[in-house]
Amino acid sequence: MKLNYPLLERKWKWLAFTMFPLPFIILGISFIASYSIPQEAVSEIIYLCWALGFGILISLKEEVEDEMIHSMRLKAFQMGVYFLMSGTLAIMIISNIKSFTPFTEWFSAYAAIWLLHTYIYATYSYLKWKNSI
């Protein structure tokens, strides 16, 4: 199966790495400027920036894009979705045990996307490392 999707040039890597400290810079500036950010929005800002950072890192071209890299990308996406399903199930179970109710705590879309991108990036990095040995 051939999976075709657009990849970013390697020069976008700097933007991905600026996304990781960006939420703390935003929160620091808002604290200095005495701007009140709602408590729910703080975690959303962090999840959004980190999801964007990992999303850019996942979408970067490798120096050599061959069939093995395409296969590793496909495996990483499959494992990322599997880990996302397992992780959200674990969050729901832990939340239910903690609160003794059938209702779980609120789980945002930004958090789910951040988890998915993190799992995909970690799996892809592991597969690259494993194949380089």
Residue boundaries of the structural domains of the chain: 10-132
Query: pLDDT tens-digit profile of 67-84?
Result: 888 889 889 999 999 998
CA–CA distance, 129 with 94 (Å, rounded to integer): 32
Query: pLDDT tens-digit profile of 48-69?
Result: 999 999 999 999 998 888 888 8
- Greatest distance between any 2 Cα atoms in the chain: 54
Is the pTM higher than 0.85? Answer: no
Q: Which amino acid is at 105?
A: E
Query: pLDDT tens-digit profile of 87-97?
Result: 888 888 887 78
